[in-house]
Structure 1
């Protein structure tokens, strides 16, 4: 098993090597990426490459964790946003859908799925930092809305309710982007998907006070 303590994260060409590795891994995956291709993409010698990353697993781990850092989105902003429920849901929905169809979002998800068996710990990190953390942040906000009388008191599973909204925001955009490319999903499709998600969610879980906001 590789030892991450061997990784050198400083040096004149470290970022250059990491960017070259990222471009190759994202295009070809772990198995399809060769050290020669990575060195060529980074415009460095193999000796320089190995001075930073003694093996390909370390290199992939560094690239993937770098992508995870870029994956993080403003969950604290979501919880603290002082706007009516339908506007916060609409903002959150656009954030979710736009991320799903972005090059970063779709590319990282593809890589996480493709390499989950080879790198289960990284797949677990992706799940914790991305989908699970997003649902937890939204769940906290749902509890606040429930306390304020905007959501029904009889919601049996608030985490499931949060996940329902997240999934609704991906309807009609996730699969086309993953299978056919970003050009198959236009901004109009994102707007319609998010608006539908807000309406369906509030009709399922909202109180009369929340539903009245949809008619304003």
Structure 2
């Protein structure tokens, strides 16, 4: 089953208002526990208004995830300077990736997608394609330019981009996802970020 497309969504004056209410309820109650009544109440709209924008709860959830992930990805992409040296760009990207991975939103969305994976496998796909995949494509584009300038030595760009993303998860992501540790100091985040950049450059730097 494909993820819901934009054709299923109608935008209007209260569209963003509905999204904010839906985000609040989904984060609090999960996908299964969230009711349309609660979402409409949190958004301050009638159920009729909600259904005028979104035909069902699944489509609304997809849009909440897509909107949030695209926002985060776009913020990171906008900061990438194609002419900046790899260390500076990778550090900036890691400074975006790590806090987002550890955010309450990312942690809860991951759990919701995992819990609903059997019934709605497209939930996880939508989460990946609307955020991580966008950032991955932009990072790959930068890496190609850096290789052309002789600043990096990479043959498999997709693998290299994925490896960097995984390095940004080291130590903190699994602990956060399972609730072992949900708060991190600036020093702890810097340790992960610096480690990801140094390890990547040790493998691919020139």
Q: TM-score range by the shorter chain?
A: 0.7 to 0.9
C-alpha separation between the residues in 2 aligned to 1:49 and 1:168? Answer: 41
C-alpha separation between the residues in 2 aligned to 1:197 and 1:105? Answer: 20
The runs of 4+ residues in structure 1 deviating greater than 6 Å are 1-4
- Distance change >3 Å, CA 77–CA 70, structure 1 → 2: closer
Which 10-residue stretch deviates more, 133-142 or 166-175? 133-142
Q: Deviations over 1:68-98 (max 9, x none)?
A: 33332332542x3432222222122112112
Residue equivalent to 2:162:
163
In the TM superposition, what is the alpha-carbon distance from 1:139 to its structure 2 partner?
2.0
- Distance change >3 Å, CA 196–CA 56, structure 1 → 2: closer
Residue equivalent to 1:199:
198
- Distance change >3 Å, CA 206–CA 45, structure 1 → 2: closer
Across the aligned residues of Structure 1 and Structure 2, the Cα RMSD in angstroms comes to 3.0
Residue equivalent to 1:56:
57
- What are structure 2's unaligned runs of at least 5 residues? none
Q: TM-score, normalised by structure 1?
A: 0.76
Residue equivalent to 1:180:
179
Aligned length, in residue pairs = 203
In the TM superposition, what is the alpha-carbon distance from 1:65 to its structure 2 partner?
3.1
Q: TM-score, normalised by structure 2?
A: 0.79
Say yes or no: does 1:34 pair with 2:29: no
Counterpart of 2:150 in 1: which secondary structure?
A: coil
Q: 1:24 touches 1:37 (CA, 8 Å); kept in 2? A: yes
In the TM superposition, what is the alpha-carbon distance from 1:193 to its structure 2 partner?
0.6
- What are structure 1's unaligned runs of at least 5 residues? 208-216
Q: Deviations over 1:84-130 (max 9, x none)?
A: 22222212211211221223433433334333444444432322232
C-alpha separation between the residues in 2 aligned to 1:8 and 1:193? Answer: 42
Say yes or no: does 1:82 pair with 2:83: yes
Which has the higher Rg, Structure 1 or Structure 2? 1
Q: Deviations over 1:127-155 (max 9, x none)?
A: 22322222222222222222222223xx4
Q: How does 1:105-144 map to 2 (within 5 A)?
A: 105-144=106-145
C-alpha separation between the residues in 2 aligned to 1:144 and 1:6? Answer: 38
C-alpha separation between the residues in 2 aligned to 1:167 and 1:50? Answer: 39
Q: 1:21 touches 1:41 (CA, 8 Å); kept in 2? A: yes
Q: Deviations over 1:30-58 (max 9, x none)?
A: 21112332233234444544454453334
